[in-house]
Amino acid sequence: MDESKFCTGCGKPIEPGMQFCPQCGMVVSGSAADEQFKENEKEIRGILIQSRRNWLIFFLAIYAIPVIIAAIIALVDASSSANAIWENDSFQKWLSEHHISMTVNDIQNYITGAATMALLSGICACVSLVCVYLRKKWIVAVIACFAAAILCVWSIFGIIIGFLVGWMIITSKDVFDDWPEGTETEE
C-alpha cells in the first residue's frame, strides 16, 4: 500500500501514508480514512434499509391481520348477518322504495363473496409481508401486494394505500437483494 499514488480528485501525487490529498482534501482511496468512510456508509445504508423494511412490515401487517380476522368472522357469520339485515325494517323499506327484489339468500351470497375477496386480499398481503420479512422474492412481494390492493374492491382508500405500498416495495429492491454485510442477519 506504500507505493506512490495519485489523487483520484485532482491527479496530484500522494505521499505514502497520507489519508487526504493536501491539494484538494479528497480522501485517499485505500487509506484508513477511506476504509472508515466506507464502513460508515455501509452502516448508514444498513440502518436505512432496516427502517424501510420495518415500515413495509408495519403497513402490510396493519392491513392483513384485521382484514383476515374480519373476513373469517364475516364468512362464519354470513347467514345470521344476512338474516339480521333482512329483518331490519329500514332495509325492507329501502328495498320497496327502490323496487329492488332481493332474497335473504342474495344478501348472504353477497356477504360471502365480499368476505372471500377480503380473505384473499389479506392472504396476498400476508404473502408479501413474509417475503419482506425474509428479504426474499422481491417480485413475489410486489405482485402479492398489488393483488391484495386490486382485491380490496370494497374500499377505494384501501386500493390507493395498497398501490402506494406496492410502489414502496418496487423501489425497495435493496431490502431484498444485496443485504449489506456486517449488519445483523437472522436465519
DSSP line for 15-65 = -TT-SB-TTT-PBPTTSHHHHHHHHHHHHHHHHHHHHHHHHHHHHHHHHHH
Residue 9 touches Zn ion, criterion: CB under 5 A? yes
Distance CA 64, CA 67 (A): 5
Q: With CB under 5 A as the contact rule, which of the stretches 18-26, 43-51, 119-127, 129-137 interacts with Zn ion?
A: 18-26
Cβ proximity of 119 and 71 under 8 Å: yes
Return the closest-CA partner of residue 142 out of 131, 156, 134: 131
Residue 47 touches Zn ion, criterion: CB under 5 A? no
Of the residues 21, 78, 159, 168, which one makes contact with Zn ion according to CB under 5 A: 21
Q: Could you tell me how many residues of this chain bind Zn ion (CB under 5 A)?
A: 7
Of the residues 5, 20, 26, 120, which one makes contact with Zn ion according to CB under 5 A: 26
Residue 76 touches Zn ion, criterion: CB under 5 A? no
Of the residues 6, 13, 16, 23, which one makes contact with Zn ion according to CB under 5 A: 23
Q: Smallest distance from the beta carbon of 4 to Zn ion, in angstroms?
A: 14
Residue 130 touches Zn ion, criterion: CB under 5 A? no
Residue 183 touches Zn ion, criterion: CB under 5 A? no
Q: With CB under 5 A as the contact rule, which of the stretches 19-27, 85-93, 131-139, 142-150 interacts with Zn ion?
A: 19-27
Distance CA 149, CA 124 (A): 9
Q: What are phi and psi of 122, to 5 degrees?
A: -65, -40
Q: Smallest distance from the beta carbon of 24 to Zn ion, in angstroms?
A: 3
Q: With CB under 5 A as the contact rule, which of the stretches 10-18, 51-59, 95-103, 140-148 interacts with Zn ion?
A: 10-18
Distance CA 63, CA 49 (A): 21
Of the residues 7, 49, 118, 129, which one makes contact with Zn ion according to CB under 5 A: 7
Q: Smallest distance from the beta carbon of 34 to Zn ion, in angstroms?
A: 13
User: How, if at all, do strands 5-6 and 13-14 pair?
Assistant: antiparallel
First to last CA, the chain: 38
**Positions in the binding site for Zn ion (CB under 5 A):** 7, 9-10, 21, 23-24, 26
